Structures are given as structure tokens and as C-alpha cells.
A = this chain, B = another copy of it.
Amino acid sequence: MPHKMSLEEAHQLATTILQKYGCDDENAKAVADTVIAAERDHAHSHGLFRIPGYVNVLKSGLVDGKARPTVRKLSPGVVQVNGHNCFAPLAQTAGKDALVEAARANGIAALALVGVHHFSALWRETEIIAEEGLACFAFTAYTPAVAPAGGNKPFFGTNPMSFAWPRSGQPPMVFDQASAAMARGDVQIAARDGKTVPLGTGITADGQPTTDPNEVLKGSMLTFGGYKGSAIALMIELLVGPLIGEAASFEAGARHNGDAGPPQGGELMLALDPARFGDPDGWADHAEAVFAELLSQDGVRLPGSRRQSYRAVTPTEGIEVADPLMDSLNALLNG
């Protein structure tokens, strides 16, 4: 029977566990805020489900739960945050104001996060910037799991990209999508349940097409949309690796300690201020006209809208935590 709890209780639970394994208040809060924002939106795969992974890298010392990120302006439009081995949300919080300020001053600005451990969803990060009235991109890599087009071995991380567009009076339009054709967690679930995965999800260790999720897990995942997704995955490697001076996925994988948790890596965010582009007074209404025309087609919804619809409910109704997860959280709490 799933365990019911309020968002506040879930936040307290996450905070307590993170503190127990070495996070100070500030670090614990940044991660707990992120984890509970995911639970609030029923994005459970980035919610409490990730706490054991966060704990793994705290326990092994890979992540410093007491780190203080440092913010540096590299140029008028580029802000760098060095997380000094914190989890990404704290570094993102540390750099937010400088990114917003630089974007408003210049029309466009970048935030480069280095020395962070990214284990959260990008959509919340771009959404927070869009709530300031800016359009926002975010990119991050991970460790090799996805084969490039034409290849047969993992090279790319799942390499998500997120984009958020600001709206007045309602949450931003936000998407956040991996370059991988399917989330690794979903492949694992299919394997557990004895189901097949669609052709194109991945290949065997010999590079052969397969619908067997176990073979995909032993082989490689593939990118969405074939060579086009592969090009996007490569772009992301360049943006969060060489551009910002952090590790590409294959480098992050090589130096990772093997913990079932996030490696050290980087993230790039770009913020654009529509008030500094071509239509400072009209852009917001214009975008709403685009959304209205799009939504006039039956069956179409805006990216992120399903997630956002849960927000009306979970603050009062709370969330449910499945037994196996609750057991592992309790084990951490009492361990």
C-alpha cells in the first residue's frame, strides 16, 4: 500500500536523509527543493526515487555536501559557477541572479556550471529562469550510455536539453527531453516486467537491432530520431564539455568512481530576454497567439502541461510513495 504524505513531509524527509549523509542546511535544501518540485509535478523518476543515488555519492565522498559554489563573471554575457563538487541545484541557485542580470543587461547571457554533480531534471532549472520573464535553454551530459548514429558502443550520455518560454499569469511552456530515444529507467522497467521495447530504442552489444530491453542494457541505447538526435547529443557534448571546460560524457565516465549516482560534470544554460529583442511590447501576446493556434487542433497539448496540471492538486492532496521506495528511504533514515 503506497505511503501518503504531504509535500512538506516529503521535503522534510528528503532534507533529513541528505543531512544525515553529510549535506549542510544549504546543500540539503537545494536538493530537497528540486526533488520535491519533481514529486509535486508527478515527475517521480526525478523525485524521492533519486535520494538513494544522492546518498551514494555523499557516502563515498564524491560529492561534498558542504560545498560553497563560487560565482565568477567570465565576460559581460558569461557567468561561471564552480560547484566545487556540490549537487547541481545549489550551483544553479548560486548563479541564477547573475545570469538573469546579465541577460537583462545584454539581451542574452550564458551560465556555465562546472564541478557539479547533475542528478535532477533540467525542466525545473529553465522554468525558474523563465519565471523571471526570460527564455531559457539548458543542456547537460552524463556518462556513456547511448551509441552515436552509425556506431555500436555507448558514447553519449542521455544528454537532455530543456527549453522554457515565459508566459504571464501561468507557468512557462517547458520541455525537457533526453537525446536518448527512451529513458534508461523505462528500459529497465521493461526488462523487469518482461516486455519488449520498440525497435530503435537500442542495440545489442554486437550492434544488432533488438527489442529485448535486457540486450539494450548490455549494449547501447540509441538517440531519438536517428542521426538527428545523434547530432543534438554531439552538440550537447561540445557545449557542456569543451566550451565550458568540463568533461564530455566519455571523460566523466572514465573518472567516475562507479557509484550508482551522478558523476562530476557540467551544464550550460542560455537566457534570452525578449524585452531586448525585436518586439519588446508585443512578444508575450504574440506567443500566446501561437499557442492558441497550436492548441486549436484537437489532441495537441503544450509540452510540460501534464506535469504542470498536477501542481493544482499535490499541494493539498499530497503524494504517494510506493512501498519499495519507502522501505529504502526508511533504511537510509535509520541506517
Residues of A within 8 A of B (CB): 74-78, 80, 105-110, 112, 114, 135, 147-153, 155, 163, 165, 173, 175, 177, 181, 224-229, 231, 234-235, 237-239, 241-246, 248, 250, 270, 272-274, 276-279, 282-284, 286-287, 290, 293-294, 297-303
**Are A107 and B105 touching (Cβ within 8 A)?**
no
Q: Which of B114, B241, B284 contacts A286 (CB 8 A)?
A: B241
- Evaluate contact between B229 and A225: CB separation under 8 angstroms: yes
Name, among A109, A282, A293, the residue most crowded by chain B CB atoms within 10 Å (CB to CB). Answer: A293
Number of copies: 2
What are 29 A-B pairs at a CB distance below 8 A? A75-B105, A75-B273, A75-B276, A76-B77, A78-B108, A110-B272, A114-B278, A135-B243, A149-B300, A151-B299, A151-B300, A163-B231, A163-B235, A173-B234, A177-B228, A181-B225, A224-B225, A225-B225, A227-B303, A234-B302, A241-B287, A242-B282, A242-B284, A242-B290, A245-B278, A245-B279, A245-B283, A246-B278, A250-B290
Query: Which of B148, B245, B248, B279 is the one whose CB lies under 8 Å from A282?
Result: B245
Known interface pairs A225-B225, A225-B229, A294-B234; A277-B243 also in contact (CB < 8 Å): yes
- B residues within 8 A CB of A165? 235, 238
Once A287-B238, A290-B238, A293-B250 are accepted as A-B contacts, the answer to whether A231 and B177 lie under 8 Å apart by CB is yes
Contacts of A237 in B (CB 8 A): 290
CB proximity of A296 to chain B, nearest CB, Å: 9
Evaluate contact between B272 and A243: CB separation under 8 angstroms: yes
CA distance A198 to B244 in the complex (A): 39
CB neighbours of A235 from chain B (8 A): 163, 165, 175
Q: For the complex, give the distance between the alpha carbons of A97 and B241 in Å.
A: 27
Across the interface, do A152 and B283 meet the contact criterion of CB distance under 8 Å? no
Residues of B near A105 (CB, < 8 A) are: 75-76
Q: Across the interface, do B107 and A76 meet the contact criterion of CB distance under 8 Å?
A: yes
Is there contact, CB below 8 Å, between A297 and B152?
A: yes
The docked-state distance in angstroms from the alpha carbon of A283 to that of B266 is: 14
Given A244-B278, A245-B279: A77 and B77 interface contact (C-beta under 8 Å): yes
6 additional A-B residue pairs with CB within 8 Å, beyond A76-B107, A181-B225, A224-B229 = A74-B278, A75-B276, A77-B276, A175-B234, A177-B228, A225-B225
- When distances are taken between beta carbons in the complex, the residues of chain B under 8 Å from A299 are 150-152
A112 proximity list for chain B (CB < 8 A): 277-278
Q: Which of B77, B177, B225 contacts A107 (CB 8 A)?
A: B77
Residues in chain B near residue A274, CB distance under 8 A: 242-243
A100: shortest Cβ distance to chain B, in Å?
14
> Which residues of chain B come closer than 8 Å to A278, judged between CB atoms?
74, 80, 112, 114, 243-246
Q: Could you tell me if B150 and A301 are in contact, using CB atoms closer than 8 angstroms? A: yes
> Contacting A108 at CB < 8 Å: which of B110, B238, B294?
B110
